[in-house]
Amino acid sequence: MIPVDGPVLRGYDPPAKKWRAGHRGVDLGGIVDDVVHAAADGTVTFVGTINGVRMLTVTHEGGLRTTYQPVAATVAQGDHVMAGQQIGTLLAGHCPGQACLHLGLKRGDEYLDPLAWINGGGSGGDVSLLPADAALHDVLPAWWVERLRQAAADAGGKAPGWPADGPVTSPFSNRINPILGTSELHDGLDIGASCGSPVRAAWAGTVSYAAPMSGFGNRVEVDHGEMEGRHRSSSYNHLADESVGLVHVGDHVEAGQVIAYVGTTGLSTGCHLHFSVYLDGSAVDPAPYLP
């Protein structure tokens, strides 16, 4: 079974030599929070994070293994799953421009074409040839473009998730600066996340700033373009030094993509994320834009 309901955005293109660059799986178009299904019967043998990417592995008959990333798992290691059963939900971050599932297939250390295997019924036998009607889409089909458009409209401008995990420790408001003792507009939300925890882009966009900035410490700004008739951008502040270089000016990022790590740089009394939203260049309360 195809794990998500979307077109093939990038096909299987293994390198001529194992150590060379190539594409050792397929990218299937999806929308953030889409249900990810098991491609075939099997047992979940890995759930975790590798190189900052959340993923899982299902081992099938004959020792074949399918891998799914980036995915928030809804199953646990050791669970037996059936073909078509939900095993997770899709996260952003793998494909530029939209969410997608990277599906891999391995036998031992050998990479195989997962779509060819699925077309063969997902059995443990030989991998069959991919049919012509399952070819890579160089131009996205109209039905898929319409689904992306409808998903954006349904979101109503809200972020798909919070930029960091933790409680709001200081809202958007006028307050006394805890370090300087001066009255100021606190132009964002402080989220009490632990040092080193991930910071995620609130919406898709282009990185417009990635460097230290005065009292904000290490800072990343993302330009989201026009949304709901106004120009929107966001900033992420007090980031850990380990964040420097994770994204660069000009990079495209997806909603939910990890762009930094929580820190306590600049004028900060402890680990947290200072998250700001700007409409037409002016700071606004981020709270109404978060789910």
Question: 47-69, pLDDT tens digit by residue?
Answer: 999 888 999 999 998 899 999 99
Model confidence at 111: pLDDT above 90: no
Other CB atoms within 10 A of residue 282 CB: 9
| Peptide bond just before 198 cis, omega within 30 deg | no
Model confidence at 146: pLDDT above 80: no
Report the alpha-carbon distance of residue 17 to residue 290 in Å, rounded: 46
Q: What's the rounded mean pLDDT across residues 119-136? A: 44
Question: 247-268, pLDDT tens digit by residue?
Answer: 999 999 888 888 999 999 998 8
| Short-list 47, 2, 7, CA closest to 31 | 7
Q: What's the rounded mean pLDDT across residues 153-178? A: 75
Q: Which helix (H) or strand (E) holds 56?
A: strand 53-59
What confidence category does residue 143 fall into, taking pLDDT thresholds of 50, 70 and 90? confident
DSSP state of 126: P
Look up the pTM and report it. 0.51
**pLDDT of the residue at 144:** 67
Q: What's the rounded mean pLDDT across residues 176-182? A: 61
Q: Which residue has the higher pLDDT, 71 or 159?
A: 71
Model confidence at 15: pLDDT above 90: no
| Short-list 119, 101, 110, 19, CA closest to 63 | 110
| Short-list 253, 34, 31, CA closest to 153 | 31
Handedness of CA 41, 46, 50, 55 (dihedral sign): positive
Beta bridge partners of 41: none
Report the alpha-carbon distance of residue 205 to residue 210 in Å, rounded: 14
Question: Hey, what domains does the chain have and what are their CATH numbers?
Answer: 8-155 (2.70.70.10), 168-289 (2.70.70.10)
| Short-list 103, 114, 97, CA closest to 32 | 97
What confidence category does residue 187 fall into, taking pLDDT thresholds of 50, 70 and 90? confident
7, 144 in Cβ contact below 8 A? yes
Report the alpha-carbon distance of residue 190 to residue 172 in Å, rounded: 8
81, 43 in Cβ contact below 8 A? yes
Q: Which residue has the higher pLDDT, 27 or 152?
A: 27
